[in-house]
A and B are shown apart, each in its own frame.
Chain A
Amino acid sequence: MVEYERTPSAGARDKAPRICIVGVGGAGSNVIDRITLDRIVDGTLVCMHTDIRVLSHSMAPVKVQLGVELMKGIGAGGDPDLGREAALFSREQIRQAIEGHDIIFISAGLGGGSGSGAAPVIAEIAKNTGALVLVVASMPFAFEGRRRIGQAEEALELLQKRADALVLFENNRMGELVLPKDGIQKAFTLADQLIAQCVRAVATITATPGLVKLGLDDLTAALSTANGRCLFGFGEARGQNRGTEALKKALKSPLIDQGRLLHQTRTLLVHVAGGESLTLVEVEGIMKQLGRNVPDQTHILFGLAVDAKLGDSVAVTLISSLGLAQLNAHAAAAPPAEMMAPRAEAAAPVPAVAPPAPRRESRRAPAAPKQEESFLFAAEEIMPEPAPAQPKLADDFVEAAEPASEAREAFEDSAEVHGDADDSPPWGEEADEQAGVDHPAPVFAPTPETARIPVRTPAAKELADAARENGRGLAAVVARSVTLQTEPPPVQQDDLLVLDPPAPASTITASIVSRSKPVEQPTLGIGEEDRGRFKDTEPSIVDGDDLDVPTWKRLKMKLKA
């Protein structure tokens, strides 16, 4: 644990405003960890969570466990109502932790239980202490499902009423921070780093006196787009051409997309800070260069500060916002393929998603004896199991079958808390166990809810590849997948008995693969090789679909998923 005792000194300097940064929920606590590790902001760091495990891992010096009696140290499980209740229960502790500050940052990942539920309550408490409240929130990934996005939007509305300024990040765009082959860990680290940088920048801009001062009013003006998402870029450089370099770095931020996104913004906040050696020519150069990236009618809010701490380097901060619709339109041009990674990882161990694949495969295989063999083999394997499991099976099912999607969410939660690497194996094992128990029962596998989850499993990909090898079999597959919207599961009762057994094996391998080599997962999306003749052209993307990929292939993937 890193001891972090800067607060008293910050408080002692009576001119400097006292800053408090609160991380709420899993995503928030990660940002706090990042800020603690990088020591980039002077201020009190507070971590708030319902889950005691996350709290105990957190590096923040002050920790508040939300709803001790109510939640008993367990996470809110993706339910914002629980998160809200928990925060209300512990409002006294929250008040104590954040009292006596001038500026309070609240960092939260919206969409989950603690983040969306507790953050508005905390914001209100913070407001009541008389501090300036700035919320830095991130919206969930699109693949996390409609419901989570809905929850995030609800929380957003609540936060908007309570916060003085709201800086909103779109997680979907975070995917572009990293190369597709980089690990998921790195992606999250970079995302946290970016948010941490933003917190620092906002703190510096609003708190430090400058030659050309920017205030909170400017910040809110820059962020005032309806349903806007924050565009943020930060760059720091030293040496020759430091001004240009710093601006280049700031523009390189994926949230700005090489400055392309700035073409559509109405208001742009630019803050240039440098050491005592900062010259007017440098500032002029930066602004001139920036002018090329910004349309003439954009309102540029310019701020300038000399900060001795920066030494001989120059820092450029760009903050603006863009409506979600515009952002999506722009993002469509480059889909974050790597974003499939966490989803696929999350989905692989869920047993119900995998079975369709082997079923198809074996139907395609002409060798009948092989099927029998595998059936026998599997039957042997299963035989000892069902006897003890059978009585338990009934309530197991109520738990396992119905909240399948809930389980998935929970798993993603744990994927989000990527710090806990040892969290996932138990999950995977549990899932595998479930797979073993569930498969003898034919009712479970084709549950329509699970079949509809839009997941591109490794199995689906395998299937697509396999199907391509076999032109004639494909004809049947395409014809079926197009003409029959869903397969009639009840008719295939005995069919399932024969064909199901290979399933456990394949789920296990799938989960092993996803655990040992998470780096390879990103290629799971619609790959380059599927585009054929259009490989080296600009993709035509509409609603997230790459239209250069054959229509039949995309339709099939949708039906599979």
Chain B
Amino acid sequence: MAKTTIYAGLEIGTHKICVVVGEAKKDGAIKILGVGQAPSRGVRKGEIVDFETVQTCLNDALVRAEDRSDVMIRNVFLGVTGAHIQSLNNRGCYRLPDDQTEITEDDVEEAKEIARNVSIPQQNVFLHSVTRQYIVDGVEGVRQPIGREGRLLEADYHIIHGIRGRIQNAIRCVREIPLEVEDVVFNPVAAAQVVLTREAKTQGALMIDFGAGTCDYVLYQEGMITASGCVPLGGDHITNDVALALQIPNGRAERLKVEEGSVLYEDVPEGEMLSIEDDTGLVLGEVPRAFLNEVMSLRTREILEQVKARCAAHLAHLGAGVFLTGGVSLMKGVEALAHEVFGMKITRAGSAPVSGITSTFENPQFSAPIGLIRYAQILDAEKPYLSPLKRLGRRMQEILSSIAV
């Protein structure tokens, strides 16, 4: 009998707050049970600026998710992003004692410890430290070093860190709902788990989660996470540019962008006009379509170029090309523009097929929250197996310690 666990992923996005409830089966399959989303207010560039509004929206989304999935949500995996999140690769080197030739678990732990011991700014906190590979006596790409013969063990780590206060803020906001935060995950890391296939990761791929507030990216090479980060520019900026260029309110600009906008302006026939209507259908004015597209295109190109500049060092060997996901990847022509910028294969992708509501996983807007479920599953799988008795003991311990605190 396959045992199942139910997880909930929560993403507080700039455009929408989204709760996904999923069921992870023991064999690795995921079934989406329900999705709750609510438009988000009080979030700018992926970071919460107005707590109360966000909490109201979050409550909405949560109630909807509980309704649809018929699950009561207590714990969530929280996806975070923001300009403050940075990443780096570090290598820890450990020389085995002279009288020992076989690598043991302790040695690996020691090497990991050294690798993780990097200096990050004082106010920062580690978000993830992912083992990329082990190197034994200069042989790269070792996945499992325990039991190998060797003298020198190196652990290669990808470390993602962010400012403690800002991450704490997001957690606090969720805790006040009240919801328990099981783990905090950097959004693109979660999204990559469902957008990129194992094969794409091995060939080398760049995944860009082009959201409303931020543009998060993660780059895989030879199956290893090599670079990740966040560009604090997104769909909101495109809307803002349109609003300021056409002198229309933000809401109308957003609608115009989604309904009519495209980033291809060269093929638009000269003189084609778009009428701007207000809510009652009254025509307020006309703008040339080429102009709207050009404004959008300039900004989109700039954002993609910013991403490119940040991972320029690793762009050489990306066999699988670039994967675009997130809300802005739905925009017309963004593929062609990205191809111009990156000069490689561009794939627009949502989450890989999972069972459940089809419209959910096919929509690139939900890549990150679904990814959170997958991430939770991977995390659990990596945990050492505990007998039910031990698990109970640990549970009791947790409860006791929480009372003591």
Contact = CB atoms under 8 A, between A and B. Distances in A.
A533 B239 CA distance: 9
Contacts of B287: 471-472, 475
Nearest to B309: A542
A474 interface: yes
B294 A536 contact: no
B241 A540 contact: no
B378 interface: no
A471 B245 CA distance: 7
Nearest to A555: B298
Contact of A478 (B122, B245, B250): B245
A550 B241 contact: yes
Given A534-B44, A534-B240, A551 B250 contact: no
A540 B244 contact: no
Contacts of B302: 547, 551
A478 B291 contact: yes
Given A263-B121, A552-B245, A552-B298, A540 B232 contact: yes
B246 interface: yes
A548 B302 CA distance: 11
B240 A532 contact: yes
Contacts of B44: 533-534, 536-537
A538 B299 CA distance: 19
A130 interface: no
B245 A533 contact: no
Interface in B57-96: 83
Nearest to B299: A551
Interface string A455-472: 000000000000010011
Nearest to A531: B240
Contacts of B47: 537
A260 B298 CA distance: 35
A530 B245 CA distance: 11
Nearest to B286: A472
A530 B243 CA distance: 11
A365 interface: no
B295 A550 contact: yes
B15 interface: no
B119 interface: yes
A548 B294 CA distance: 17
B119 A468 contact: no
A540 B83 contact: yes
B49 A537 contact: yes
B236 interface: yes
Task: Name the interface size band of chain B.
Answer: 20 to 34
Given A471-B287, A550-B245, A534 B45 contact: yes
Nearest to B301: A551
B232 A482 contact: no
Contacts of B290: 479
A295 interface: yes
A39 B236 CA distance: 55
B122 A550 contact: no
Contact of A542 (B239, B245, B294, B306): B306
A553 B306 contact: no
Given A551-B298, A551-B299, A555-B298, A263 B244 contact: no
Contacts of B237: 534, 547-548
B359 interface: no
Nearest to B302: A551
Contacts of A536: 44, 49
A392 B134 CA distance: 78
Interface in A512-558: 530, 532-534, 536-538, 540, 542, 547-548, 550-553, 555
B245 A474 contact: yes
A485 interface: no
Contacts of A479: 290-291, 294
A1 B27 CA distance: 90
Nearest to A542: B306
A471 B239 CA distance: 16
A439 B45 CA distance: 48
Question: Which of B237, B241, B288, B302 has the most chain A CB atoms closer than 10 A to its own CB?
Answer: B237
B295 A478 contact: yes
B10 interface: no
A482 B298 contact: yes
B358 interface: no
B233 interface: yes
Given A532-B243, A533-B44, A540-B231, 4 more contacts: A475-B287, A538-B83, A550-B245, A551-B241
Interface of B: 44-45, 47, 49, 83, 119, 121-122, 231-233, 236-237, 239-241, 243-247, 250, 285, 287-288, 290-291, 294-295, 298-299, 302, 306
28 contacts: A263-B122, A264-B121, A295-B119, A297-B119, A471-B245, A471-B247, A474-B245, A475-B287, A478-B245, A478-B291, A479-B294, A533-B44, A533-B239, A533-B243, A534-B45, A534-B240, A536-B44, A537-B45, A538-B83, A547-B232, A548-B240, A550-B241, A550-B245, A551-B299, A552-B241, A552-B295, A552-B299, A553-B244
**Nearest 5 A-B pairs (CB), nearest first?**
A550-B241, A551-B298, A475-B291, A540-B232, A551-B299
